[in-house]
Structure 1
Amino acid sequence: MKTTYIKLSLASILLLGIYSCKKGEATASKYELEGTADSAAVVVSDSVSSAATTKVKDKQFIKTAEVNMEVKDVYDATISIEKSIQQLGGFVTKSNLQSNVVSEDTYNTSNENSMLVKKFQTENTMQVRVPTDKLGELLTLINDKKLFLNSRIINAEDVTASIKYAELETQRNKKTNENIAQMKVNKDKVNIGNDNMKEGNQQQLESMNIVDNLKYSTVDIYIKEPKLRIAEIAVTNTKSIDNKYKFNFIYDAKNAFVEGFYLIQRIAVGLITIWPILLIAAVIMYVLRKRKYFKKPDHI
């Protein structure tokens, strides 16, 4: 029984080695192959931290890092970091460079010209992916750009157990699929088969993500300038332009005369509109005067 177990174990190891040679397969055998390759690779000397180049026999680590620092010029530092990442075989997934304006004032220097003065602070939030074996080298290059390091976090997550669990789940899914194949064809078999296939696809996706995270480390970088910077921008003196065209006597007098003529027209039209009221008022006045005229002899 023991001899049979040893033979089966050797056969399993051989099969795992064959399957791991297939590019793009997200299986536990590939994790083991990559672990062997990592242990055989040359360890890059990282003067920043040994956590970035952690290697332990029979262990797999997903490594991430966060860097928060101040630099002399955010734009120049961003370009330099992006070039370094490209040279190391990595890529940038996010780069949000922006200038936060603290104040903005305009000073007139002549009747035609003004100077716009902006006080601002530039910052950039980046997320990059770099080959895991180059993480230490990247952190060293980033560290060379700093004026002041606010914080730096390096994580090395041990995913050895997760890889083993993924392997066991793959075997279970395969066994379940074999059991489903032996069932009679009916509605339940179709539903169970679909659920098992969906679970298998999800497991394969998770395995692919683990492979990708083992191969590439994610680094979040936040850089900013320590003090405010000033930008001087030559602009037109808008106040003198406004004063130049603010008032024109001849034009405004002409418009006032025309507006007065239109006002007379509107008053006349308004009086015509209320002619019934005027007519009634005239009749009432006439009646009242008549009555007053006839009462005057009584007082003599």
Structure 2
Amino acid sequence: MKTTHIRLTIATALLLGVYSCKKGEATASDYENLEANKEIVADSISSVATMSVKDKQFIKTANVNMEVKDVYNATISIEKSVQELGGFVTHSDLQSRVISEETYNTSDEDAMLVKKYQTENSMLVRVPTEKLGKFLTLINDKKLFLNSRIINAEDVTSSIKYAELEGKRIKKNEENISQLKANKDKVTLDNENMSDGNLQQLANMDVSDNLKYSTVDIYIQEPKLRIAEIAVTNSKNIDNKYKFNFFYSAKNAFVEGYYLIQRLIVGLIMIWPIVLIAAIAFYFYRKNKSNNKQQTKEQNTAS
């Protein structure tokens, strides 16, 4: 082990000696090559994003899914990087997904609400295509763990060439239609050709915009749950405190009983015709029954 250490020390000394000898011979081009190598190493993280082929045009998109230490700080940093590179954010949905929450009573008046949650954000940004590789390198520095990264470079060279041919065809149609005799059919043909021209211009604008700006779909989340402790009122004790009051309930019961008697009396007053008829019927019933008893008694006496 000691022999190996001595050999490494000697080798290091020799290398330092060679570097000292060559240091005076270094030129500006050497330093430029060194910086170029550093850029190549940095860009190698997203070679597809920086790809450039002669006579080819690519629409580039990227999808990044990663875990970060702090989602909010990472979001602010990403948005700042996008602006500095000349891009813009089209969508940002930062939210805290609550996993569980429990309330623990700490005294008769106080309690503690404990929430376990995980913060995440879905972002959609547009950055200049020539700076896509640099942007991906910047956001890569924010990661704790990279779940996935997808970079697409769609070759649209033939589509652009076809769009140019379609533009020529539409223009030729316009010239041919202009030579026709004015009638209803000419108006129809002119409208259809103009509509085709508008659609073609819109498609050209979309392609031009997508060539100039690359779309990056970013999803970031924190790897572990966060815990929030929020001081709240002991609601259970408050409920028990006001759940039942004997004197108040007894007073209300007495008042409600008084009102019930009033409602019964009013109800009887409302049905006085029925009571009167029933009283008259009962009177005649008793009178008839008394007469029958009297007759029966007289018959028994006569016998």
TM-score bracket, shorter-length normalisation: 0.7 to 0.9
Structure 1 equivalent of residue 46 of structure 2: 49
Deviation (angstroms), 1:54: 1.1
Structure 2 equivalent of residue 217 of structure 1: 214
Look up the equivalent residue of 1:210 and give its one-letter code: V
Structure 2 unaligned blocks of 5 or more = 1-38
CA contact (8 A) 1:44 1:53 kept: no
Worse-superposed segment, 159-168 or 286-295: 286-295
1:264 to 261, 265, 270: 261
CA contact (8 A) 2:112 2:231 kept: yes
The count of corresponding residues between Structure 1 and Structure 2 is 259
Q: Quick one: structure 1 residues 94 and 43, their matched pair in 2 at CA, closer, same or farther if it must change by over 3 Å?
A: farther
Does 2:120 align with 1:126? no
Determine the C-alpha separation between the residues in 2 that align with 1:135 and 1:244. 63
Worse-superposed segment, 290-299 or 116-125: 290-299
Q: How does 1:68-217 map to 2 (within 5 A)?
A: 68-217=65-214
Deviation (angstroms), 1:273: 1.3
Worse-superposed segment, 280-289 or 46-55: 280-289
Structure 2 equivalent of residue 247 of structure 1: 244
Determine the C-alpha separation between the residues in 1 that align with 2:44 and 2:52. 16
Look up the equivalent residue of 1:197 and give its one-letter code: M
Deviation (angstroms), 1:56: 0.8
Structure 1 unaligned blocks of 5 or more = 1-41
Determine the C-alpha separation between the residues in 2 that align with 1:236 and 1:251. 25
Structure 2 equivalent of residue 37 of structure 1: none
Deviation sequence 1:193-233 (CA, Å, 0-9, x none): 12111111111111111111111000001111222221111
Structure 2 equivalent of residue 296 of structure 1: 293
Deviation sequence 1:139-177 (CA, Å, 0-9, x none): 112222222222111100000000100111111111111
Structure 1 equivalent of residue 64 of structure 2: 67
1:148 match: secondary structure: strand
CA contact (8 A) 1:43 1:53 kept: no
Deviation sequence 1:246-300 (CA, Å, 0-9, x none): 3334433332222221111001011111222222222232233223323335365
Determine the C-alpha separation between the residues in 2 that align with 1:158 and 1:281. 102
Deviation (angstroms), 1:111: 1.9
CA contact (8 A) 2:108 2:237 kept: yes
Determine the C-alpha separation between the residues in 2 that align with 1:97 and 1:49. 26
Look up the equivalent residue of 2:112 and give its one-letter code: M
2:170 match: secondary structure: helix
1:244 match: secondary structure: helix
Determine the C-alpha separation between the residues in 2 that align with 1:187 and 1:44. 66
Determine the C-alpha separation between the residues in 1 that align with 2:41 and 2:203. 29
Greater radius of gyration (CA): 2
Determine the C-alpha separation between the residues in 2 that align with 1:43 and 1:134. 14
Identity across the alignment (%): 73
Structure 2 equivalent of residue 24 of structure 1: none
Determine the C-alpha separation between the residues in 1 that align with 2:92 and 2:141. 20
Deviation (angstroms), 1:90: 0.9
Look up the equivalent residue of 2:155 and give its one-letter code: D
2:61 match: secondary structure: strand
CA contact (8 A) 1:44 1:136 kept: no
Determine the C-alpha separation between the residues in 1 that align with 2:190 and 2:289. 112
1:51 match: secondary structure: coil
Structure 2 equivalent of residue 228 of structure 1: 225
- Measured on the aligned residues, the alpha-carbon RMSD in Å equals 1.9
Deviation (angstroms), 1:138: 1.2
Look up the equivalent residue of 1:174 and give its one-letter code: K
CA contact (8 A) 2:115 2:228 kept: yes
Determine the C-alpha separation between the residues in 1 that align with 2:40 and 2:92. 29
1:54 match: secondary structure: coil
Worse-superposed segment, 76-85 or 155-164: 76-85
CA contact (8 A) 1:85 1:138 kept: yes
Look up the equivalent residue of 1:228 and give its one-letter code: L
CA contact (8 A) 2:42 2:137 kept: no
Determine the C-alpha separation between the residues in 2 that align with 1:223 and 1:147. 10
Look up the equivalent residue of 2:68 and give its one-letter code: V
Determine the C-alpha separation between the residues in 2 that align with 1:116 and 1:155. 46
